[in-house]
Structure 1
Amino acid sequence: MSVISLNAPATQQSHDTKLKASTWVKLRELPSPYSHDEALLLCKTEDGFWIAWIPDYGEIKLSPRQILGH
């Protein structure tokens, strides 16, 4: 399974401290028209991104900006 980034900048934002692994979050935009609008956060990367799992899509690398409310 491949990890895909949705062209978000690699800047780390201070407001992502509320996010934690094993949390379901809403996405600002869908990576595929057939994927769900929520993702399960798996782990945070050293560069401030999150590895997440999206039902009907798979694993993805998310920027905090791609998560609704962050």
Structure 2
Amino acid sequence: MANIAEVLGRLTPEEVDELRSLGPQGHLPRHLVDALDRAAGGTGSGRGYYVANGNVSATGGPLLVLRSDVSGWLAAAS
């Protein structure tokens, strides 16, 4: 897995701001999951940066949150 700063540095400023605003337990919307995948190298490549929180959405899919060290990096970098 690539360096957190390196991957998050490939996100747009708006995407970074939105991730920060969600906080450590905020559920990631699809467009931010896609942005993390894109920044990490392509479809599914960002999976190490977000994890399922154990709950499911109304449609049955897992609710995803940032991994704790990624969330911590975002908080420290603000």
Q: TM-score range by the shorter chain?
A: 0.3 to 0.5
- Structure with the larger RCO, 1 or 2 (CA within 8 Å, 6+ apart): 1
TM-score, scaled relative to structure 1: 0.33
More strand per residue: 1
* TM value normalised by structure 2: 0.31
Instruction: Pick the structure with greater CA Rg.
Output: 2
Greater helix percent: which structure? 2
